[in-house]
Structure 1
């Protein structure tokens, strides 16, 4: 079953647009190169807060992404934003998931 990670961050300095720029150049490649990666997104939820939402093939891969994200933030952005809460859970509904079409001859 696919799993999702939702992380809520507080922006300490700078703008949401700067966060997005950092995410595009840092988190996107990091996650895309990780086993089980399905999707990643960032959304502003308040003037000084945003969420990071990623989907993974397994819970273990989502948990590994949590550790990778924490290491990346610590090394690259801890002066700009900080993690407030982190949630990982199995997806009960996943409309983006498509079963492969059967091969017919």
Structure 2
């Protein structure tokens, strides 16, 4: 059963556009190179917060992604954004993988 990781982050100094740039250059390659990767995206939920959503083939891979993301944020972006909450859960409904939407920023 596929699982998803949803993480809520607070943006510190800087902008959401800067977060998108960091995600493109850092988190995307990291996750794409990880076993069980299905999809990844981020969405701004208010002026100073965003969510990261990734889907994985198994719960263990989603849990591993949480660790990888936390390590990456500590090493690369702690001054720009910080993790508020992290959730991992099994997908009850999964309509499948489609081509990702183009990044608007």
TM-score, with length taken from structure 2: 0.91
Q: Distance in 2 between matches of 1:66 and 1:95?
A: 23
SS at match of 1:18: helix
Which consecutive residues of structure 1, in runs of 5 or more, have no partner in the other structure?
99-105
- Provide the residue aligned with 2:43 in structure 1: 43
1:92 aligns with 2:79: no
Map 1:1-105 onto structure 2 (within 5 A): 1-96=1-96
Q: What are the Cα deviations for residues 37-60 of structure 1, in whole angstroms up to 9, with x where unaligned?
A: 000000000000000000000000
Which consecutive residues of structure 2, in runs of 5 or more, have no partner in the other structure?
99-105
Q: Distance in 2 between matches of 1:16 and 1:97?
A: 25
For this pair of structures, how many residues does the alignment match?
A: 98
Shift of 1:88: 0.2
Shift of 1:97: 5.2
Shift of 1:96: 1.7
SS at match of 1:96: coil
Q: Distance in 1 between matches of 2:94 and 2:32?
A: 19
Q: Distance in 2 between matches of 1:12 and 1:59?
A: 30
